[in-house]
Amino acid sequence: MNLAELLTHVQGLTAIAIGIIIGLGALGACLGIAIMGSKFLESAARQPELVPLLQGRMFLLAGLIDAAFIIGLAVALLFAFSNPLTAVIQAAAGH
């Protein structure tokens, strides 16, 4: 397998990995926020006097859930625009 074929293969697999990272991260974040929101509404209906306390904690958790997705997005963008795997292949081919 020559260098061009190897680089093309790595870039193709990287594109699939990027799609999986972003897709599963978005799915997980959506499910997490949906479950958290439903539990917040249940608890607000049961004890309305605790809504201010629970609302602050809900927004904190929403930020943490979104932060995990954004970290995954940043890793996917790293692989999309400056793929370290192609640099390793090019360095190995140069020796």
Task: Kindly state the tokens that stand for 30.
Answer: 């959506």
Local structure of residue 71 (DSSP, 8 states): H
Local structure of residue 81 (DSSP, 8 states): H
The mean pLDDT value of the chain amounts to 93
For residue range 4-63, what is the model confidence (pLDDT) as tens digits? Answer: 899 999 999 999 999 999 999 999 999 999 999 999 999 999 999 999 999 999 999 999
Task: Indicate if the pLDDT at residue 88 is higher than 70.
Answer: yes
> Which pLDDT score, from 0 to 100, does residue 1 have?
77
- For 27-58, give the DSSP string: HHHHHHHHHHHHHHHHHHHH-GGGHHHHHHHH
For residue range 50-77, what is the model confidence (pLDDT) as tens digits? Answer: 999 999 999 999 999 999 999 999 999 9
For the annotated catalytic residues, the residue numbers are 66
Whole-model pTM: value is 0.81
